[in-house]
Amino acid sequence: MPIFNLMSVPDSDNYTVANFLTGETENNYVSARLALQNSDVFAIVNLISGDLATSRIRASASRMQGMIDNPTTMSNGHLFWKSVFLQLLLGGEAFVYRWRNKNGVDLRWEYLRPSQVDVFELDDGSSLVYNATFDEPEIGIVNAIPQSDMLHFRLISRNGGKTGLSPLSSLSSELDIKSANTRLTLTALKQAVVSPGILTIKKGGLLNEKQKAARSRRFMQQQSSSNYGPVVLDDLEEYQPLEVKSDVSALLSQTDWTANQIAKVYGIPDSYLNGQGDQQSSLDQIKGMYTNALNRYMGTILGELNNKLNCRFTADLRPAVDPLGDGYATKISEMVKTNAIDGNQARYILQKSGYFPKDMPEYSGILKGGEDNDSN
């Protein structure tokens, strides 16, 4: 009797991450590289994953903080976490294996692609276990990995948190429409740029169908050999090109509507993505909506870290949404003006956040030139 039974993991819908791009309906893995060939998907997930990786994850224990900052020897910490967030956004879940010594101390973490991991549930339903196929030949397949050794981040789940569901699964219809619209637009563009025309033979008598087709082919060969430049005709021939279609621009204007749909699925304002959209929203409102979206995704990471590791984790999103700290400093200044805090407290907060250097000298009240603030 097996020690665990195979659930609906991977779920029939969970791993068709980019079927909307390929038109396939089989339950197989599609690489992130294929999904990212869609420019709208690339722009959005690259923006979100980059900003999440820029944010600071803080641990209450110094040893674990070192793992967060430098989880792997294969790449830097920013690239590692961006890969995790990127996979989370595309597939709805991401896996990180914890390499630990015999005392249970983390040595390094390894990012695993979803195609490398199979998830199982124990017969008694008490836990999940994992089978993982490592890229290193000397390691190969490792079976029955305990749940404590695998960081399993899930974005959305419909089976109680056992597996994740890709946000892109809700966009299959929209992206199928865009794919068909793109093909239609390209066809229209080709016909508009190199328009067919009518070649008239004067005083040549009646030509049969075979002769007409042969002359048409020769004329097209002339066009091609001249790189679609001017074609020289004699007095017995006249060529009249057809008019350029006027509705091509209308087709082109329809090709960007799915970007708004993708932005909606990921919960970010399209105005933040492309600088357009709702012009009535202020910059602060747009930034606030985007920050809320980042906070939701970061909560997925923090929830798993807090659950699996004996440490308390928090996140600071300010490096992503306010990289220079000017917005934060403005808020602190407003609090001083309303007497919520005094100047010394404001200075302490800004130094603690890194906006002011920690060794900044005390303010003496002396202006340039040696004059006092109170002097006239």
pTM above 0.85, yes or no: no
pLDDT at 204: 55
pLDDT string in tens for the chain (376-residue length): 333 333 333 333 343 444 434 444 444 444 456 667 777 788 888 999 999 999 999 999 999 999 999 999 888 999 999 999 999 998 889 999 999 999 999 999 999 988 899 888 888 878 899 999 998 888 989 998 999 999 999 988 888 778 888 887 776 555 555 555 556 555 655 554 444 566 566 665 566 777 777 777 777 777 667 665 666 666 666 655 544 444 444 544 444 556 777 788 888 887 776 655 455 557 778 888 889 999 999 999 999 999 999 899 999 998 888 888 888 888 899 999 998 888 888 888 988 888 888 888 877 665 555 455 554 4
Which two three-digit tokens encode residue 308? 């699996």
Using an 8 Å Cβ cutoff, are 172 and 181 in contact? no
Domain ranges (residues) in the chain:
9-170+255-323, 196-242, 327-360
pLDDT at 48: 93
pLDDT at 14: 40
